[in-house]
Protein backbone atom coordinates (compact mmCIF):
# COMPACT_ATOMS: atom_id res chain seq x y z
CA UNK A 1 0.00 0.00 0.00
CA UNK A 2 1.53 3.28 -1.13
CA UNK A 3 -1.23 5.84 -0.67
CA UNK A 4 -4.48 6.38 1.16
CA UNK A 5 -6.26 5.80 -2.14
CA UNK A 6 -4.65 2.34 -2.32
CA UNK A 7 -5.92 1.70 1.20
CA UNK A 8 -9.46 2.72 0.16
CA UNK A 9 -9.25 0.41 -2.88
CA UNK A 10 -8.32 -2.44 -0.54
CA UNK A 11 -11.28 -1.64 1.76
CA UNK A 12 -13.68 -1.43 -1.19
CA UNK A 13 -12.60 -4.91 -2.27
CA UNK A 14 -12.33 -6.80 1.01
CA UNK A 15 -14.67 -5.26 3.58
CA UNK A 16 -17.66 -7.59 3.20
CA UNK A 17 -20.89 -5.84 4.15
CA UNK A 18 -19.41 -2.32 3.86
CA UNK A 19 -17.84 -2.76 0.41
CA UNK A 20 -20.48 -0.60 -1.27
CA UNK A 21 -19.85 2.22 1.21
CA UNK A 22 -16.09 2.07 0.63
CA UNK A 23 -16.59 2.01 -3.15
CA UNK A 24 -18.79 5.11 -2.86
CA UNK A 25 -16.21 6.79 -0.63
CA UNK A 26 -13.47 5.91 -3.13
CA UNK A 27 -15.48 7.42 -5.98
CA UNK A 28 -16.28 10.70 -4.18
CA UNK A 29 -13.21 11.34 -2.01
CA UNK A 30 -10.32 13.67 -2.69
CA UNK A 31 -6.63 13.45 -1.80
CA UNK A 32 -4.74 16.39 -0.29
CA UNK A 33 -1.02 16.76 0.36
CA UNK A 34 -0.77 20.52 0.93
CA UNK A 35 -1.14 21.43 4.60
CA UNK A 36 -1.39 24.99 5.88
CA UNK A 37 0.37 24.49 9.21
CA UNK A 38 0.26 28.15 10.25
CA UNK A 39 -3.51 28.40 9.84
CA UNK A 40 -3.94 25.00 11.52
CA UNK A 41 -2.03 26.24 14.57
CA UNK A 42 -4.00 29.49 14.57
CA UNK A 43 -7.31 27.60 14.46
CA UNK A 44 -6.14 25.19 17.16
CA UNK A 45 -5.43 28.09 19.51
CA UNK A 46 -8.48 30.16 18.58
CA UNK A 47 -10.95 27.30 19.06
CA UNK A 48 -9.07 25.48 21.85
CA UNK A 49 -8.92 22.24 19.93
CA UNK A 50 -8.58 19.05 21.94
CA UNK A 51 -6.49 15.96 21.23
CA UNK A 52 -8.46 12.92 20.00
CA UNK A 53 -11.44 15.14 19.14
CA UNK A 54 -10.95 15.73 15.43
CA UNK A 55 -14.64 15.39 14.53
CA UNK A 56 -15.70 17.91 17.15
CA UNK A 57 -12.78 20.29 16.57
CA UNK A 58 -13.32 20.47 12.82
CA UNK A 59 -17.13 20.53 12.95
CA UNK A 60 -17.13 23.54 15.26
CA UNK A 61 -14.70 25.44 13.07
CA UNK A 62 -16.57 24.58 9.85
CA UNK A 63 -19.92 25.65 11.30
CA UNK A 64 -18.81 28.98 12.80
CA UNK A 65 -16.29 30.10 10.16
CA UNK A 66 -16.89 30.82 6.49
CA UNK A 67 -14.63 29.23 3.92
CA UNK A 68 -13.60 26.07 5.80
CA UNK A 69 -14.96 22.87 4.31
CA UNK A 70 -15.40 19.85 6.59
CA UNK A 71 -13.98 16.51 5.41
CA UNK A 72 -14.01 13.00 6.84
CA UNK A 73 -11.69 10.26 5.77
CA UNK A 74 -8.18 9.18 6.64
CA UNK A 75 -4.76 10.62 7.35
CA UNK A 76 -1.28 9.18 7.37
CA UNK A 77 0.97 10.94 9.84
CA UNK A 78 4.73 11.03 9.85
CA UNK A 79 4.92 9.43 13.29
CA UNK A 80 2.45 6.61 12.69
CA UNK A 81 2.63 5.22 9.17
CA UNK A 82 -0.85 3.67 9.14
CA UNK A 83 -4.12 5.19 7.90
CA UNK A 84 -6.20 6.66 10.70
CA UNK A 85 -9.84 7.69 10.44
CA UNK A 86 -9.83 11.44 10.76
CA UNK A 87 -11.72 14.69 10.22
CA UNK A 88 -10.00 17.74 8.76
CA UNK A 89 -10.76 21.06 7.09
CA UNK A 90 -9.96 22.30 3.60
CA UNK A 91 -9.70 25.90 2.49
CA UNK A 92 -8.29 27.01 -0.85
CA UNK A 93 -7.30 23.39 -1.62
CA UNK A 94 -5.04 23.11 1.44
CA UNK A 95 -5.71 21.07 4.58
CA UNK A 96 -6.16 22.73 7.93
CA UNK A 97 -5.77 20.25 10.80
CA UNK A 98 -6.34 21.85 14.20
CA UNK A 99 -6.23 18.46 15.96
CA UNK A 100 -2.89 17.18 14.72
CA UNK A 101 -1.51 20.71 15.11
CA UNK A 102 -1.49 19.82 18.81
CA UNK A 103 2.06 18.63 19.29
CA UNK A 104 2.93 19.37 15.65
CA UNK A 105 1.86 15.88 14.53
CA UNK A 106 0.61 16.78 11.05
CA UNK A 107 -0.13 14.16 8.46
CA UNK A 108 1.49 14.17 5.06
CA UNK A 109 -1.48 12.80 3.12
CA UNK A 110 -5.19 13.34 3.74
CA UNK A 111 -7.99 11.55 1.92
CA UNK A 112 -11.67 12.22 2.49
CA UNK A 113 -15.12 13.26 1.44
CA UNK A 114 -16.57 16.73 1.82
CA UNK A 115 -19.56 16.89 4.17
CA UNK A 116 -21.64 19.94 3.17
CA UNK A 117 -22.11 22.52 5.91
CA UNK A 118 -25.91 22.26 5.88
CA UNK A 119 -25.78 18.47 6.38
CA UNK A 120 -23.17 18.88 9.09
CA UNK A 121 -25.25 21.48 10.95
CA UNK A 122 -28.45 19.46 10.65
CA UNK A 123 -26.77 16.32 11.96
CA UNK A 124 -25.17 18.09 14.91
CA UNK A 125 -28.39 19.81 15.93
CA UNK A 126 -30.67 16.80 15.31
CA UNK A 127 -28.45 14.18 16.97
CA UNK A 128 -26.71 16.45 19.48
CA UNK A 129 -23.48 14.51 19.19
CA UNK A 130 -20.15 14.39 17.41
CA UNK A 131 -19.07 11.24 15.69
CA UNK A 132 -17.18 9.73 12.82
CA UNK A 133 -20.23 8.39 10.99
CA UNK A 134 -21.29 11.51 9.08
CA UNK A 135 -19.72 10.18 5.91
CA UNK A 136 -21.68 6.96 6.28
CA UNK A 137 -24.87 8.92 7.04
CA UNK A 138 -24.29 10.97 3.87
CA UNK A 139 -23.75 7.75 1.91
CA UNK A 140 -27.03 6.35 3.20
CA UNK A 141 -28.96 9.49 2.28
CA UNK A 142 -27.54 10.30 -1.17
CA UNK A 143 -24.82 7.83 -2.06
CA UNK A 144 -26.65 4.89 -3.53
Confidence of residue 19 (pLDDT cuts 50, 70, 90): confident
CB count within 10 Å of CB 129 equals 10
Split at pLDDT 50, 70, 90, the class of 39 is very high
Percent of the chain exceeding pLDDT 70 equals 86
More reliable by pLDDT, 2 or 63: 63
* pLDDT above 90 (res 128): no
pLDDT in tens, 40-95: 999 999 999 999 999 999 999 999 999 999 999 999 987 788 889 999 999 999 99
Q: What is the mean pLDDT of the chain?
A: 86
> Would you state the pLDDT for residue 8?
80
pLDDT in tens, 83-103: 899 999 999 999 999 999 999
Q: 133 pLDDT band (50/70/90 cuts)?
A: low
pLDDT category of residue 131 using cuts at 50, 70 and 90: low
Amino acid sequence: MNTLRDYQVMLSTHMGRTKDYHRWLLKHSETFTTIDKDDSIRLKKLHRSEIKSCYKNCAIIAVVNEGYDYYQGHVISKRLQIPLEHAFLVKENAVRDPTLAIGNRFGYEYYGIHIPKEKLQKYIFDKKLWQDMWAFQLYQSIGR
